[in-house]
Chain A
Amino acid sequence: MSAAGRSAFWHSDGRRLSGFSALLLLCPFFVIIGFVFLYPLAKLLVISVMEPEPTLANYAKVVTNPVYARVLLRTLWTAVLVTVTCVVLGFPVAYFMTRIRSALAAVVAICVILPLWSSVLVRTAAWAYLLERHGLVNTGLQAIGLTDGPLQLLYTQSAVVIAMAHVLLPFMILPLYGALRSIPNDYMRAASVLGAPNHRIFLEVVLPLSLPGVVSGSLLVFLTALGFFITPALLGSPQELMIATLVSQQIREVLDWPFAAALVGTLTLFVTFLALVFSKTLRFDRLMGAS
C-alpha cells in the first residue's frame, strides 16, 4: 500500500474519509484531553514562572537545593531500576509466550493482564503486607534460616522498586511479546540451518530483532515510573521521597503551589526531552503492535 494510502482515513465501506469527517471523529477525544490534561498542565506551568512574580526562582530552587535535586535524581534512579527489573523479568515471559501453543499463550497473556484489572492500591497494599516486619517474606526467610531476625524490608527503596516493577511489568511484557511474535519463525530456522546453535540464534537474531519492543516497553515503564505516586508513598521511606510524593506534599501540606508547579515543569521538560530523543528510535506505531 502506498504511503498516502496508509495515512488516509477510510469509511467502513472503503470510501476515503474527507478531512472534515476525520476531524469530527477525532474531536471528542482531543476536547477531553485539552480540558483535563493540556489546560491544567499549561496553567501549572504558568504558575511555576509567574508566581509570586514573573520569575525563574522556583526552578532555581529545584536545581540548586540539594534536597530537591536529590529527590529528582532518586526518582530517575528508581525509574531506571524499575525499568531494568521489568526487562529482566519480562523478557523471559514474553519469549516463552511466543514459543508455546497460541491457546496456552492466551492463558499466559490473561495472567499477565489480569493484575491490571485490580487497583494499584490493592497491589501495593499486598506488597506492604508481604514485606512488613512479620510478613510472609520475613517469616519465610527466617524459617529457611537465611536470616536470624526480621529485616527492614518495608519503607525502603527496594520495596518501592519491587512493587513498582510488579505493577508495571505488563507494560513491558506486552510490547516485548508483540515484537517477539512479529519475528517470523523462518528467521530462527534459517539461522539454525546456517549453523547457529540455540544461544547464538537468540543473541544474533532474536535479541536484535526484539529491540524495538525492548525500547517501547522500557519507555512506557520508565515514563510511568517517573510519575508514580501511590507505591512510593505507601512503601517508600519518608526520608527517601520521590518527586510525585514531593509534589503532593508541596500542594497539600506546604501549600506552595508555585514550587510544586516548578517540580511538575521540570519533570515535564525531562519527559519531553526523552520522548524527542527516542522519537528517532521509537516509532509510535510499533508501540501499537504494528511491525
Chain B
Amino acid sequence: MTDEANKPSAAGASIHIRALEKRYGPVRAVDGVDIDIAAGEFLALLGPSGSGKTTILMALAGFEFPTSGTITVDGEDLTYLPANKRNLGMVFQNYTLFPHMSILDNVAFPLKMRGVSKAERHARAQQALATVRLEGYGERTASQLSGGQQQRVALARAIVYHPRVLLMDEPLSALDKNLREEMQLEIKRLHAELGITVIFVTHDQGEALTMADRVAVLKDGRIQQIGPSRALYERPENLFTAGFIGEMNFIDVDVQAVGEQFRVALPSGEVWDVPASAVVEPVKVGEKAVLAVRPERLQLGAGDGRYSLHVTLRDIVYAGAALLLIGALPNGKEIRARIPGASNLGPLAIGSVATFSVPKDAALLYRGLGQ
C-alpha cells in the first residue's frame, strides 16, 4: 500500500455500481441503482433530500454497506470492504479537519496511516497545500482559517495520497455564494490537473450543471435520468427531471392526432401542431399530455412560425439581467416568461392581457399525469 501511495497515479478509476439497493426497514433509500462512471469522469449526484444520493455516496465510501448490489472500482469489488481499506479520497460538508492537529498534520494524516516517514509526509503535505494554494498555512490550526480555506485544506488532505476516486458530500453548501463559485472553479481545476474520478453529491442543480461532465438525477432512491448537463436541461426524459432541473412551464393538453405532427389542444381551446421530435414520451390520441416550455424560451408578442399563448399578467418582477413576467392562462394555470431585463413592455401592466410566443422547437411533450 505504501508503494502505491507514493506513486502518483496517472488517472482516475472507473466505477461500476450495479443493482445497488439499501433498505432501512421498509424504506428503500436506494432502490436498484446502476451507474457506470468512466475513469476521470466528473459525475454529480443530484436530487432533493431523501432521494438516496447521500446513501449512494456512503456506500461508495464504505460507511454503509448496501442491502444488495455491487460496487466495483477498476474491476475490484469493494462493496463490503471497510472504508479505511478502499483508498478513496473524501471531502465532507463540514470540512472535518481534526481540531487538535495543525493544518500540516491534518494533510499528512492519511500518509501517516500509510506508514510514510515523518519527513516525507510533511514534504508531501506541503506540496498538497501548495496545490490548493495554501502554502505557508501549515502551522495554523483549523479554527484560524476561513470556511473556504478549511475546505481547501480538506481537499488537499483528500488528494495527498493520490486516490483514484474523490468523493464529495455537498462540499460547498456551508460556504457563502461568492466563495462557493470560487471553490467550484478550484475543484474543476484540480479535477482537470489530477485526472481523478470525482463523484459529487449536491442538491444545488446549478452547481451540478456547471461542474459535472454528467449528472445523475435521483428521486426516491431511483435514477430519473443520467446524462450531460445540456441533455438534462434541453431534453429532460421525464416530468420529474423537467420540473426539477431549472424552471419549467407545464401546460395540460389533450392529444387529438399523432403522426408526423402531434396535434394537441390547450385548455384555452387553441390547437398546436407539435413536431414528432418534440415528443419525449409516447402519447396516444385521446390521452392527456403535458407540454413543457422553459420560461426563457418565451417571447413577448406573437411571431411568425411560433405558437402563441394568451395570458393575463399577474406580476412583473425586475431581476436585473432578466424580467420575469408571471401570467395566467384562462384556466388559471400559471405561465412564467423570462425576457431580457432591458425589454420595453410598452403599455403592458399587471392585469392586462399579453401574448407570449413559443418557438416550435422549444416545447416538449410528455405523457400526462393521473392516467
Contact = CB atoms under 8 A, between A and B. Distances in A.
Interface of A: 184, 186-187, 189-197, 200, 204-205, 208-209
A205 B99 CA distance: 9
Contacts of B92: 186, 189-190
B87 A195 contact: yes
Interface stretch (B41-49, B107-115, B317-325, B355-363): B107-115
Contact of A194 (B94, B99, B113): B113
B83 interface: yes
B100 A209 contact: yes
Contacts of B112: 204
Given A189-B92, A196-B113, A205 B84 contact: no
B61 interface: yes
A103 B62 CA distance: 26
Interface of B: 61-63, 82-84, 86-90, 92, 94, 96, 98-100, 109-110, 112-114, 157-158, 161, 167
A interface secondary structure, majority: helix
A195 B110 contact: yes
28 contacts: A184-B96, A186-B94, A187-B96, A187-B98, A189-B61, A189-B92, A190-B90, A190-B92, A190-B96, A192-B63, A192-B82, A192-B83, A192-B84, A193-B61, A193-B63, A193-B83, A193-B84, A193-B86, A193-B88, A193-B90, A194-B84, A194-B109, A194-B161, A196-B109, A204-B98, A204-B109, A205-B98, A209-B99
Interface centre among A186, A195, A196, A205 (most CB of B within 10 A): A195
A215 to B, nearest CB: 13
Contacts of B99: 209
B63 A189 contact: yes
Given A184-B94, A186-B92, A191 B100 contact: no
Given A186-B96, A195-B84, A197-B82, 7 more contacts: A189-B96, A192-B83, A193-B86, A193-B89, A194-B90, A195-B161, A204-B98
A190 B62 CA distance: 11
Contact of A208 (B94, B100, B167): B100
Contacts of B100: 208-209
Contact of A195 (B61, B98, B114): B114
A190 B96 CA distance: 7
Nearest to B86: A193
Contacts of A193: 61-63, 83-84, 86, 88-90, 167
Contacts of A190: 90, 92, 96, 98
A192 to B, nearest CB: 4
A194 B82 contact: no
B353 to A, nearest CB: 50
A189 B83 contact: yes
Contacts of B110: 194-195
A187 B158 CA distance: 14
Contacts of A191: 98, 109
Contacts of B161: 194-195
B287 to A, nearest CB: 49
Contacts of A205: 98
Contacts of A186: 92, 94, 96
A196 B84 contact: yes
A209 B90 CA distance: 21
A192 B63 CA distance: 9
A184 B97 CA distance: 11
A57 to B, nearest CB: 49
Contacts of B62: 192-193
A197 B84 contact: yes
Nearest to B96: A190
Contacts of A196: 84, 109, 113
A190 B113 CA distance: 12
Contacts of B94: 184, 186
A10 B161 CA distance: 50
Most buried by B among A192, A208, A209: A192
A196 to B, nearest CB: 5
A86 B158 CA distance: 38
A208 B102 CA distance: 13
Contacts of B157: 194
Contacts of B96: 184, 186-187, 189-190
A253 B114 CA distance: 66
B86 A200 contact: no
A3 B82 CA distance: 43
Q: Name the residue among B83, B89, B167 with the largest chain A CB count within 10 angstroms.
A: B83
A190 B150 CA distance: 14
B153 to A, nearest CB: 12
A1 to B, nearest CB: 16
A225 to B, nearest CB: 28
B18 to A, nearest CB: 22
The 5 closest A-B pairs by CB, nearest first: A195-B113, A194-B110, A190-B96, A192-B83, A193-B90
A59 to B, nearest CB: 42
A195 B116 CA distance: 12
A206 to B, nearest CB: 11
A204 B84 CA distance: 14
A202 to B, nearest CB: 13
A26 to B, nearest CB: 32
Nearest to B111: A195
B195 to A, nearest CB: 20
